[in-house]
Amino acid sequence: MNLPNGARAKHLTLPALMASIPFSFPHEASMAPFLNEIAADLDLSTGVAGQLGTATYLGGITSALALAPLIGQMAIRRVLVLALVVVAATSLVSSVVESFAALLVIRLIAGSAAGIVLAATLAAVARAWSDPKKRVMRTGLVIGAMASGPGILGPALRGIGELTNWQTGLAIYGLVTAGVAVFVAVGLPSLPGAPTQISYRNRLAEAGRAVGMPVVRTVLGARFISQIAFGVFFGFLAAFFVDLHPGKDAWIAPMFFVGPFGFMQAAFLGGPFLSRFGVMRVTALSTLLTGVAVIGFAWLTPSPYISAFFFFMYGLMAGVAQTGMTALIYQYSGNRQGAAIFVNSALGPGGSMTGAVLGGIAIVAVPGYDGYRLLLSAVAIGMALTAMALLVSTRRAGDQAVVVAPAD
Find the DSSP H helices in 236-336: 237-244, 252-277, 279-299, 304-332
Closest CA to 65 of 336, 345, 338: 345
- Give the range among 255-259, 302-306, 343-347 with minimum mean pLDDT: 343-347
Q: Is residue 354 part of a domain?
A: yes
Tell me whether residue 107 is in a domain: yes
Predicted confidence (pLDDT) per residue in 251-302, tens digit: 998 998 998 888 888 877 776 777 777 888 889 999 999 999 999 999 998 8
pLDDT exceeds 70 at position 348: yes
**pTM score:** 0.79
pLDDT at position 72 is 67
Q: Looking at the domain assignment, is residue 402 inside a domain?
A: no
- Domain at 380, CATH number: 1.20.1250.20
Tell me the chain's radius of gyration from C-alpha atoms.
20
Q: What is the number of domains present in the chain?
A: 1
- Helix 100-128 × helix 132-146 angle, to 10°: 160
pLDDT band at 405 (very low <50, low <70, confident <90, very high): very low
**Is the pLDDT assigned to residue 406 strictly greater than 50?**
no
pLDDT band at 16 (very low <50, low <70, confident <90, very high): very high
Whether 404 is in a domain gets the answer no
Could you give the percent of the chain with pLDDT greater than 70? Answer: 90
Answer whether residue 173 is part of any domain: yes
Looking at the domain assignment, is residue 407 inside a domain?
no
Closest CA to 321 of 221, 229, 222: 222
Residue 170 lies in a domain: yes
Q: For residue 107, what pLDDT band results from cuts at 50, 70 and 90?
A: very high
Q: Picking from 156-160, 195-199, 277-281, which range would have the lowest pLDDT averaged per residue?
A: 195-199
Within-domain flag for 318 = yes
> Domain range for residue 168?
5-397
